């Protein structure tokens, strides 16, 4: 009887350990997924920084640019580039905040899934900003 109880207890410990490993593995995979997306979009920040410099230069020299590009709507260009600069800053700030707040060691599956969702939304934001940079700065390259 004692052997049966000990065997049952040992089996319970092994089963609990395996279930814990499965949960940890899923959390770890979610954490790895979040980090992979981060690593994919993080290099874009240097491109964003360079684009901000170009935007500042265009905004500063808009009158001079208008002389060579006579059809340029300077009022619309100023608004578009200012909004683009704000979008760049917002995307960069979101990344910095996420990096500061993210806890890759957190083993809560709900937390990790929420972070994966956040970083994927941020990837979409980065993609939109990158596309806007290409479109809006093309006439000035």
pLDDT at 1 over 50: no
pLDDT for 28? 87
Tens digit of each residue's pLDDT (9 = 90 or more) over 23-77: 457 778 999 999 999 999 999 999 999 999 999 999 999 999 999 999 999 999 9
* Residues found in the chain: 141
- C-alpha to C-alpha distance for 2 and 115, rounded to whole angstroms: 47
Q: Burial letters for 21-45: b for 16+ Cβ neighbours within 10 Å, e otherwise? A: eeeeeebeebbebbeebbeebeebe
pTM: 0.78
Q: Tell me the three-class secondary structure of 102-129, residue by residue.
A: CCCCCCCHHHHHHHHHHHHHHHHHHHHH
Mean pLDDT rounded to a whole number for the chain: 86
């Amino acid at each position: 009887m004692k052997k049966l109880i000990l065997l049952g207890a040992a089996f319970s410990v092994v089963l609990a350990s395996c279930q814990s490993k499965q949960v940890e593995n899923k959390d770890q995979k979610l954490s790895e997924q979040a980090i992979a997306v981060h690593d994919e979009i993080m290099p874009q920040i240097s491109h964003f920084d360079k684009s901000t410099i170009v935007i500042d230069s265009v905004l500063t020299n808009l009158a001079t640019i208008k002389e060579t590009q006579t059809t340029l709507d300077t009022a619309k260009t100023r608004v578009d580039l200012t909004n683009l600069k704000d979008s760049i800053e917002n995307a960069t700030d979101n990344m910095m905040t996420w990096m500061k707040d993210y806890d890759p060691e957190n083993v809560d599956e709900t937390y990790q899934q929420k972070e994966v969702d956040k970083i994927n939304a941020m990837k979409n934001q980065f993609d939109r900003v990158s596309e806007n940079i290409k479109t809006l700065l093309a006439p000035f390259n």
